[in-house]
Amino acid sequence: MDSKILEFAALLRKTGITVSHSEVAEALEGLAELGLERDIFYNVLSSTLIKDQADFRAFDKLFEIYFNPRFFGHRQAAALRWPELIGVDENGGCTGTDSVPGAEHGRTTGFGQGQGLATAAVDSFVQVIKVGDPGWMREMVKRGVKSLGRIKKEDLKNISDTVRQVKVFLEWNMGTYELEKEAPLVNEEIWLIWQERLMELEEILYRELEQAMVSELGSEALETVLIRENVNQLDFYRLSVPQVAEIRKKISKLAHKLASRLSFRHKKAKHGKIDLYRTIRKSMAYGGVPISPAFRDRYPTRPQIVVLCDLSGSVKVFSEFMLQLVYSIQSRFVHVRSFVFVDTPDDVTGYFQNREIADGIRDIYNWARFSKTAFSDYGLVFIDFWGKYRDVLDKKTTLIIIGDARNNYNKEHADYFQKICGEVRKTVWLNPEPAENWDMEDSIMSVYGRHCSQVFECRNLEQLDRVVRRII
């Protein structure tokens, strides 16, 4: 058992959770004292290995998978050795089954070919969401996962495509469409409850699918699941709905740290104006000779920032994260102006003043005028920005551009971007795409990048933390 706990702790670290050797030792001591009854086992591990509430989601998922008889060693041997932990049915076997219905006939792609069966699937989906019974949700999702038949390695490479196949089987899109048609007939509170249940159902779907993959493919699948749980290193565009909520919490913490860092970032100057009083005091150690002059402390000024965010579909989530970050720390800056664009820029600074961030972002999408054609056009954006907003730029300003530089093959108008960069102290470009994709297809990152002071790949929270600390 000790080796299994050590391996479990190592797997937790792969999800981004910090686990020290002393915490593992405490967990082993607790288990030795309290035993291996499943609830006690869970409580001992969670109380000794987890320190942050946000980490419980990854811990619970890994615990459920790792200490499952279908993964944890041989099923019968595990049940005989640790019956309290694994769980044994009335016949002395492990609970659960290895069989996958439908596997012998190939992969199932839906409830059936008939219109009546499809309608029944839609009605079933709608009813499950309206009732909200967790048991019904799990049963429906299990039917969908079983429809895949035997899980293959190809399913592991792109979980999103596999999830989409299950959703097709469950008539997910049609069911959601039926709920949306009923939205005007119910009050807002009920509609919000339905939305929460849809997110819960999607989370159950991911969990059931991951368990099926681990059961079928073993450690290889578990590695993939753990990578998906490490939100610090997961690309923003791959985040699930619950992970987006978790990232928002982590960005708030990052903003708090950065704001505090600005308040205390004072250090002795190595050059500049001489501090005569301190220089004379230091010279006493050398017989009154000022061998080592002292300089006046440098107090950094809080930077002025202008943020220009691309809100087109390809970078929407990342831009919203950055807007949240700026919103959270803007009280520490002398001045912050926020602009959003798709093919035309709009000043959205007022949407964030004395308001909650969620309300501000919602109203931006409802009322801001940042899109005429729904397709990114960076060249046109820079022309409009230069014409309408050049007065917000000066030599004290740091301009932060957030976008993937995908211009949909429109004219780049790099001369206008060069004019904008010439008006500010420095220009920083954050691109959420992998660097190897820059200048591929309609990306023109190098066209604009040559005029920037700094260009960063910034596609996950770990990179965002590192980049923002360098900018501020």
Q: What is the largest CA-CA distance in the chain?
A: 101
* Per-residue confidence (pLDDT) for residue 301, from 0 to 100: 55
- Looking at the structure, tell me whether residues 202 and 149 fall in a common domain: yes
Q: Work out the pLDDT band at 173, boundaries 50, 70, 90.
A: confident
- Looking at the structure, tell me whether residues 383 and 287 fall in a common domain: no
Residue 334 in tokens: 């002398």
Q: Which amino acid is at 216?
A: E
- Looking at the structure, tell me whether residues 331 and 460 fall in a common domain: yes
Is residue 470 scored above 70 in pLDDT? yes
* Per-residue confidence (pLDDT) for residue 77, from 0 to 100: 44
- Looking at the structure, tell me whether residues 337 and 456 fall in a common domain: yes
| Helix ranges (DSSP H) in 94-240 | 115-131, 134-146, 153-157, 159-169, 172-182, 188-217, 219-229
Q: What is the CATH number of the domain that holds 362?
A: 3.40.50.410
Q: In whole angstroms, how far apart are CA 173 and each of 140, 166, 169, 204, 396? A: 15, 11, 10, 17, 50
- Looking at the structure, tell me whether residues 14 and 154 fall in a common domain: no
CB-side neighbour CA atoms (13 Å) of 104: 2
* Per-residue confidence (pLDDT) for residue 426, from 0 to 100: 92
Per the structure, the complete domain to which residue 65 belongs is given by 2-86
Is residue 94 scored above 50 in pLDDT? no
How many domains does the chain contain in total? 4
Is residue 424 scored above 90 in pLDDT? yes
- Taking only the tens place, the pLDDT of each residue in 318-367 is 777 877 777 766 655 557 888 999 999 999 888 877 777 778 888 888 88
Local structure of residue 124 (DSSP, 8 states): H
Q: Work out the pLDDT band at 439, boundaries 50, 70, 90.
A: very high
Is residue 280 scored above 80 in pLDDT? yes
* Per-residue confidence (pLDDT) for residue 90, from 0 to 100: 45
* 99 within domain boundaries: no
- Looking at the structure, tell me whether residues 340 and 382 fall in a common domain: yes
* 240 within domain boundaries: no
- Looking at the structure, tell me whether residues 344 and 275 fall in a common domain: no
* Per-residue confidence (pLDDT) for residue 391, from 0 to 100: 92
- Looking at the structure, tell me whether residues 287 and 305 fall in a common domain: no
Mean local confidence (pLDDT), 421-430: 93
Mean local confidence (pLDDT), 54-80: 64
The candidate with the shortest Cα–Cα distance to 203, out of 55, 318, 61, 307, is 61
- Which of 153-157, 335-339, 392-396 comes out lowest in average pLDDT? 153-157
Q: Work out the pLDDT band at 81, boundaries 50, 70, 90.
A: very low
* Beta-sheet strands, E only, within 256-396: 304-310, 335-341, 345-347
Per-residue burial over 152-185, b if 16 or more Cβ lie within 10 Å, else e, is eeebbeebeebbebbbebbbbebbbeebeeeeee
* 93 within domain boundaries: no
- Looking at the structure, tell me whether residues 68 and 114 fall in a common domain: no
* Per-residue confidence (pLDDT) for residue 82, from 0 to 100: 43
Q: Decide: pTM greater than 0.75.
A: no
- Taking only the tens place, the pLDDT of each residue in 208-252 is 887 788 777 777 677 777 766 677 777 776 676 667 777 777 777
Q: Residues of the chain with pLDDT > 70: what percent?
A: 79
- Looking at the structure, tell me whether residues 343 and 377 fall in a common domain: yes
* 80 within domain boundaries: yes
**Cα distance between residue 185 and residue 86, in whole Å:** 47
**Cα distance between residue 401 and residue 432, in whole Å:** 11
Mean local confidence (pLDDT), 295-301: 62
